[in-house]
């Protein structure tokens, strides 16, 4: 029996890319998956496809920048399946890409609302549910931008640095209560975000050949790996898929 059998997993930003791949993979491993996104069209389709394939999934509209939405999402997951075992804080934005003096304040702040507040709201709502039942796992999707500076990405770098701090703080405060808090820095992934980055033409990341981006299914496989006992070695830190060591641990090809 899979370690995910009858476990409940909530995934934000599940309408495409990493979130969609994670939902499909974890459902295939036996999890009850709750897909969350601002609009329900894609997540309802994905959930229906998962169920048709024999999995258990449901879709729930949620704007992670709104606390009440996230609170309702977590409550819905518990109402449906009786428990919350895993939260994947995946929802994130990078547009609009611009140098600081050219940035749009409203757009810059929207990235903060989703990338930082959205993660905080997830933590705030999930932790009480998990600790009441003995614990759970939370995966924050991070980035190398958390510890680096890239032109045009001030909003993304700043918010991912904040997410790394939230990962560390959550681990410090709640590891003793059964919360397994891990960040995951996947590197560049073949998603729509890379299309926006390429189009911007700003900083070296936009110049990368698309062939170097890893498939989102690799990230999904890594999320499953970190949810298992092997993930204990990375509590309170960011696990990186940009190293040969990290990829080997998950069983993925080495960095080329």
User: Could you tell me the two tokens for 254?
Assistant: 């080495």
In the chain, % helix, strand, coil (3-state, to 5) comes to: 55, 15, 30
Q: How far is CA 252 from the centre of its chain?
A: 19
Strands (E) located in the chain: 8-12, 32-37, 56-61, 86-89, 136-141, 179-185, 238-240
Q: Is 156 a catalytic residue?
A: yes
Of the candidates 67, 81, 156, 234, the residue annotated as catalytic is 156
| Cβ within 8 Å of residue 156, ≥6 positions away | 94, 111, 115, 143, 145, 150
As annotated, the active-site residues are 156
């Amino acid at each position: 029996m899979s370690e995910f059998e009858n476990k409940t997993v909530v995934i934000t930003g599940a309408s495409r890319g990493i979130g969609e791949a994670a939902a499909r993979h974890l459902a295939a491993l036996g999890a009850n998956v709750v897909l969350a996104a601002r609009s329900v069209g894609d997540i309802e389709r994905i959930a229906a496809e998962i169920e048709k394939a024999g999995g258990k999934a449901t879709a729930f509209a949620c704007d992670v920048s709104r606390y009440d939405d996230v609170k309702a999402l977590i409550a819905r997951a518990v109402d449906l399946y009786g428990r919350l075992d895993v939260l994947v804080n995946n929802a994130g934005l990078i547009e609009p890409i611009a140098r600081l003096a050219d940035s749009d304040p409203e757009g810059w702040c929207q990235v903060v609302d989703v990338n930082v507040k959205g993660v905080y709201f997830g933590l705030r709502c999930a932790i009480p549910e998990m600790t009441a039942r003995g614990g759970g796992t939370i995966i924050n999707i991070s980035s190398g931008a958390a510890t680096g500076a890239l032109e045009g990405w001030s909003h993304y770098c700043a918010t991912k640095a904040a997410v790394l701090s939230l990962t560390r703080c959550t681990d410090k405060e709640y590891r003793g209560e059964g919360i397994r808090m891990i960040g995951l820095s996947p590197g560049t992934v073949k998603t729509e975000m890379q299309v926006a980055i390429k189009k911007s033409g700003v900083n070296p990341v936009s110049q990368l050949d698309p062939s170097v981006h890893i498939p989102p299914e690799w990230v999904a496989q890594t999320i499953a790996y970190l949810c298992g006992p092997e993930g204990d070695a990375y509590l309170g830190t960011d696990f990186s898929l940009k190293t040969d060591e990290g990829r080997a641990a998950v069983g993925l090809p080495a960095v080329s």
